[in-house]
Structure 1
Amino acid sequence: MLLLEFSHAIQDFIETGGQVLLVIGVLIFVMWLLILERIFYYLRGHRQAVTAAVQQWQSRTERNSWEAEQIRSALISRVSMALGGNLPTLQALVALCPLLGLMGTVTGMIEVFDVMAVAGSGNVRSMAAGVSKATIPTMAGMVGALSGVFATTWLKRVTKRERVTLAQQLALDDSQLQLSA
């Protein structure tokens, strides 16, 4: 019963906001799936990638040449790229949210102008549906963009921090070797 009421409320909300709201909803859903995938990778797969990179670096006998430095940089880059894999896509989806909200605003205002052309400017009740159709997608696009901005900012910060940490780990291994020699 509760699920049925929830689905009716969602359906009414989408009808109030128009078809653009449905597109925004799908966009936000995909965006959060990608964000959750990155978080899951950070919690599960990233540690394995760091461990593999450190082991590969430690297995090298020579670590002071130009070639060794290039290999070290490549190891750090591979791990960083894997961690920040779909961040550009996420940033594009975040930027798309307010644009779709703006499109919803325009389509809602077109409906308001159509009502004004047919019923005249004195029919406030008939214009209210168009104004609602104009503001709800804008709000949904902004909410989606804000939540996405916070999540992608956090993911970018984690990626940068993990890159620096890995670089320090690989450099630390070199200094420990020099101290023990």
Structure 2
Amino acid sequence: MIWIAESYAALRDFFEAGGDVLWAILAVTILLWTFILERLWYFRMVQPAKTQKALETWNNMSDHDSWQARQIRERLLSEIRVDAGQFIFYIKTMVAVLPLLGLLGTVTGMIQVFDVMTVLGTGNPRAMAGGVSAATIPTMSGMVAALSGLYFGASLDKRAKVEVERAADLLRYH
């Protein structure tokens, strides 16, 4: 139980040193990873069943060459494309926003440093240290959070495209 209290204290100190922007970075990171985990679950558990259902619908049709059959095929593929690509835009957007939030933390931290310099001058480095840490910690946090989602965002985007191509191959004309 002591390690929990120590971990909580370390986390609290980190957030106090980094400033209020860290809370926004934390919220966006939690949302980012919620979407990433949902997409991973979707591609593993839901997508195969949706593709199978579309294939069964296509195979149960007697005509695959008419204009109407082609439109049905396009509708089936469109549904798969929309479902597979859901939330990927949001993942990419959050990956782009996180470094900007870190930059916002840098700016607010530097404002703290300049406020200290205005009041106390440059002769008090201890007073300026709080602003410097408030400037650097959010930058690092925003970059780390963005990097953690960058790979998965690109991977999930590619996976969505592959799933649509795979479905298009399965729903071929006879």
Q: Name the TM-score class by shorter chain.
A: over 0.9
Residue identity opposite 2:154 in structure 1: T
- State the TM-score, normalized to the length of structure 1: 0.92
* Larger deviation, residues 44-53 vs 84-93: 84-93
Within 1, Cα distance between the matches of 2:4 and 2:67?
Answer: 63
* Larger deviation, residues 62-71 vs 45-54: 62-71
Residues 30-49 of structure 1 mapped to structure 2, 5 A cutoff: 30-49=31-50
User: Which residue of the partner structure matches residue 98 of structure 1?
Assistant: 99
RMSD after superposition: 1.1
Tell me by how many angstroms 1:34 deviates: 0.9
Within 2, Cα distance between the matches of 1:2 and 1:74?
Answer: 55
Within 1, Cα distance between the matches of 2:154 and 2:168?
Answer: 21
User: Which residue of the partner structure matches residue 142 of structure 1?
Assistant: 143
Within 1, Cα distance between the matches of 2:5 and 2:56?
Answer: 54
Within 2, Cα distance between the matches of 1:95 and 1:147?
Answer: 12
Within 2, Cα distance between the matches of 1:76 and 1:170?
Answer: 8
User: Which residue of the partner structure matches residue 167 of structure 2?
Assistant: 166
Within 2, Cα distance between the matches of 1:135 and 1:92?
Answer: 23
- 5+ residue gaps in structure 2? none
Tell me by how many angstroms 1:122 deviates: 2.3
Residue identity opposite 2:97 in structure 1: L
Structure 1 SS opposite 2:107: helix
Tell me by how many angstroms 1:108 deviates: 0.2
Tell me by how many angstroms 1:32 deviates: 0.2
Within 2, Cα distance between the matches of 1:144 and 1:76?
Answer: 34
Tell me by how many angstroms 1:12 deviates: 0.7
Matched residues, number:
173
Deviations 1:16-54 (A, max 9, x none): 100100110111011101110110111101111011000
User: Which residue of the partner structure matches residue 127 of structure 1?
Assistant: 128
User: Which residue of the partner structure matches residue 178 of structure 1?
Assistant: none
Structure 1 SS opposite 2:24: helix
Query: Once superposed, which parts of structure 1, at least 4 consecutive aligned residues long, lie more than 3 Å away?
Result: none
Tell me by how many angstroms 1:66 deviates: 2.0
User: Which residue of the partner structure matches residue 85 of structure 2?
Assistant: 84
User: Which residue of the partner structure matches residue 53 of structure 1?
Assistant: 54
Tell me by how many angstroms 1:137 deviates: 0.4
- State the TM-score, normalized to the length of structure 2: 0.95
